[in-house]
Amino acid sequence: MDLLLHLPHRYQDRTRIVPLRALRVGQECLVQGQVTDSRIIRGRRRNWLVVLNDGEGALTLRFFHFSQRQVENLKIGRTARCFGEVRAGPTGMEMAHPEYRDYAEPPTELEARLTPVYPTTKGLGQTRLRALVAQVRALDWPQGSALPLESLFLLHLPPAGATDDDIAQAQERIARDELTAYYLVMRFRQSQRQSQQAPPLPQAQQLGRTLLEHLGFQLTRAQRRVVREVLLDLAQSRPMLRLLQGDVGSGKTVVAAFAAIRAAEHQAQTALMAPTEILAEQHYLSFSSWLTPLGIPVAMLTGGQGKAMRQRTLEGLASGETLVAVGTHALFQQATAFDNLALTIVDEQHRFGVHQRMALRAKGRTPHQLIMTATPIPRTLTMALYADMDVSLLDELPPGRQPIDTRLVAASRRDEVLARIAKVLDAGQQAYWVCTLIEDSDQLYAESAETTWQRLRAQLPGRRIGLIHGRMKSEEKAAVMAAFKAGDHQLLVATTVIEVGVDVPNASLMVIENPERLGLAQLHQLRGRIGRGTRKSYCILLYGTPLREVSRARLKVIRESQDGFHIAEQDLALRGPGEILGTRQTGETRFRVADLARHAHLIPEIIQEGQRLLTEAPEEAEALRLAWAGGDVGPVSV
C-alpha cells in the first residue's frame, strides 16, 4: 500500500523517437540515428565522441568513461537508440553518457507507457521500483478501496500520450483525498484529546488580578478575550491544545504569563520554551518582573548557562520548588525533570519541530499546551492544518503604536541611509542594521555581519555600535543585547538572530540589507522589532540592484501593508505557502502528493467534505483516514 503512495516525481517519455533536427537544449528524450563518426580525443581528459545522423539532423554523444569494448561495438554504420538529456556542446547538440543500445537493424517497437522516475530510497533502484509497481498493478484489487486506485495507477504507469494535464488532474484527485485524510487525522486527534485527563486548573487565588493592577498598561480587548479563552481551557480536566496567533507586537508574552500564574496558583509547574537564548533571556526578565512580586519562583534554563547555575535550576525543577521555567530546548533535554509539569508554552512555534514540542510535553503527564506564533497563516490553511487545535487570535495591537514607514532604497544610495542613521542616533534613538545571506551558514553569516560592523564603525565614527550573530557564545549575546537594551549600544549590527521576540522600544529605525533574499513573513517579523515605542519608526529595505519583477512585487507588499495576515495571503499568492509556513514547518508537513502551493485552493472544499464524512459516513471517513495514515500518526503539522 505504501508502495502505491510512493509516486513518481517525474516521467521520461520513451514512447516516441524525437527527430534530431527538432532537439532542444534541456530536453530529455529518445533519439535514434546511424553512427557516422567515432573518435577518441586525447586532451586534458580523454573523450570518446560518436556522431549520430538520422538523415535530417545530427547529434554528438560524448563519453568520458568508456571501455574498448564499447568503442568496438558502437562503430560507424551501426544504428544507436539513446535516451538522455540534450545539451549544447562545442559543435552542436550533444548527449553526455546517454543510455543507449546499438543495432544493425533497430526494432520498431517502442515503450507503450511513459517511464516513471521515482524518488529513490536506499536500496531500491528505479528498475526494482518499477517492477514492484507492475506486480502490484497486476493484483486483484477489491472494489471500493479507500484509495483512488485509478488515479494512482495512472500516475505510476501513464499510457503513451498522457498529457501534463492528465497527470495534473490525477494528482489533484489524489491530493484531494490526501488532504481530506489529513484533515480527518487532525480531527481524530482532537477527539482523542477530549478523552485524555489533565490536571484541571480552575481559579484558586487572585494572583492574576494582582498582576493586572501592577502591569503598568491595560490589556487590549483582544488580550482580555484570549486570556479568558486560555484560562477557561485550563480549568477543564482535558488537556488544552491551543494555538495563539498574534502578529508581532500584539502582546502574546503577557497572555502566557497569565496562564503560568494560573498553574502556579495550584503549585503546578509551567515550562516556557523559546527558540533562541536571546529570546529566552528576555522572557525570563519579563516573567521575573511580573511573577516574582507575586511570590512565584521563576528560573531560566539554557544550553549556554554555566554548570553550577544550571545544576541549581535543575534541582529547583525536580523538587517542584521552581514553578516557572523559561528556557530553550534545554528544557526537554534528558537531564531535565519536572516534579509536576502542568503547562507547556512554546513561543514562536514555527521555529520548532513537532518532535521538540512532543519532547517537552513528555516532561509532564498530559500537560496543557499553549502554542504561540507570530507567523500569520491564512485562515483557510489554519482550519485544515491545525484542525486538531483550538485557535485564538490576537487581532489588535496595543494602543499608541505608530505605524512603521517602510521604504525601498537601492543599495547605491547607501550614503544617504548612513546620514539618516547618524541623525537618528544623534537624536538619542536607536537602530538596527540587519545583514542577510542566501546560504544558511552560521559562519558566513557571522563573517558578513562582522565585515559590515567594521565598515559601519568606520563610516559612523563616534557612535557606539554593537554586533550580534549566531556564532557568539550565549553570554556574549546576552551581554550585547543587555547593552543595547540599556542604550549603551546605539546601533546594533545583527544577523536574523534578532528576528524573533527582541523588544527594545527605543529602537525606531531598521535597515535591512538585501531584503529580497528573505521571505515576506521573515521580513515582517524582523520589521516587528521596531515600532514598539511611541515614536514613528522607519524601516529601510536596502535592496541590491537590479531587482527581479517578483521581488519587486513582494517588497511592495511589505511596504504597503503592516498586517501580517494580509502579507501572508499575498505571499501565498506570489510564492506559495512554503514561504509562509517556513521551511522548518513545511519540512514536517510533508504530504506525499498534495502540494500546498498548487492545491491550497482545494482546502475549503476539503474541510466541507471532511465534515460531511464525519457526520454522514463515519465508516468511510475512518477508512480514508486509515488508508492514508494507517495506525501511524500520519502526516504531521506543528
Residues that bind Mg ion (CB under 5 A): 501
Q: How far is the CB of 278 from ligand ADP (least distance, A)?
A: 13
Task: List contacts with ligand ADP (CB under 6 A).
Answer: 217-220, 223, 246, 248-254, 374, 398, 501, 503, 532
- 398: partner contacted, choices ligand ADP, Mg ion, none (Cβ within 5-8 A by kind): ligand ADP
What is the nearest approach in angstroms of Mg ion to the Cβ of residue 532?
Answer: 11
CB of 287 to ligand ADP, least distance (A): 11
Asked whether 500 and 279 are in contact (CB, 8 A), the reply is yes
Smallest separation (angstroms) from ligand ADP to the CB of 221: 9
Place of cell 539513446: 82
Partner from Mg ion, ligand ADP, none binding residue 378, C-beta < 5-8 Å depending on class: none
Nearer to ligand ADP, 223 or 436 (CB): 223
How far is it, in rounded angstroms, from Cα 225 to Cα 399? 16
246 binds, among ligand ADP, Mg ion, none (CB under 5 to 8 A by kind): ligand ADP
Q: Name the residue whose CB lies closest to ligand ADP.
A: 251
- Closer CB to ligand ADP, 100 or 287, in the complex: 287
Comparing CB distances to ligand ADP, the nearer of 370 and 421 is 370
248, interface contact from Mg ion, ligand ADP, none, CB < 5-8 Å by kind:
ligand ADP
Task: Identify which of residues 162 and 374 has a Cβ nearer to Mg ion in the complex.
Answer: 374
CB 385, min distance to ligand ADP, A: 21
Q: In whole angstroms, how close is the CB of 388 to Mg ion at the nearest point?
A: 23
Residue 121 is classified by DSSP as: B
Concatenated DSSP letters for 520-555?
HHHHHHHHTTSS-SSS-EEEEEEEPSSPPHHHHHHH
Query: Which of ligand ADP, Mg ion, none does 12 bind, CB closer than 5 to 8 A by kind?
Result: none
Beta bridge partners, 495, equal none
Residue 339: name its binding partner from ligand ADP, Mg ion, none (Cβ under 5 to 8 Å by kind): none
Taking alpha carbons only, the member of 191, 203, 197, 268 closest to residue 230 is 203
C-alpha closest to that of 156 among 174, 142, 181: 174
Whichever of 148 and 501 has its CB closer to ligand ADP, that residue is 501
Quote the least distance from Cβ 536 to ligand ADP, whole Å: 17
Closer to ligand ADP by CB, 248 or 273: give it.
Answer: 248
Rounded to whole angstroms, how far apart are CA atoms 481 and 487? 10
DSSP 17: B
C-alpha cell at 70: 564499447
Could you give the CA distance from residue 484 to residue 490 in angstroms, rounded to a whole number? Answer: 7
Q: How far is the C-alpha of 267 from the C-alpha of 340, rounded, in Å? A: 8
From the list ligand ADP, Mg ion, none, partner contacted by residue 158 (C-beta under 5 to 8 A by kind)? none
Cα–Cα distance measured from residue 296 to residue 470, given in angstroms and rounded to the nearest whole number:
32
- Specify the residue, 197 or 218, whose C-beta has the smaller distance to ligand ADP: 218
Between 270 and 589, whose beta carbon lies closer to ligand ADP? 270
CB atoms within 10 A of CB 20: 20
CB of 500 to ligand ADP, least distance (A): 8
CB 501 within 8 Å of CB 279: yes
503 makes contact, choosing from ligand ADP, Mg ion, none, with CB < 5 to 8 Å by partner type, with ligand ADP
Closest CA to 508 of 428, 415, 431: 431
The CA distance from 308 to 311, in Å, is 5
From the list Mg ion, ligand ADP, none, pick the one residue 249 interacts with, judged by a Cβ distance below 5 to 8 Å according to partner type: ligand ADP
DSSP assignment of 19-62, as one string? PGGG--TT-EEEEEEEEEEEEEEESSSEEEEEEEE-SS-EEEEE
Q: How far is the CB of 558 from ligand ADP (least distance, A)?
A: 17
Question: Which residue number, 317 or 478, has a Cβ lying nearer to ligand ADP?
Answer: 478
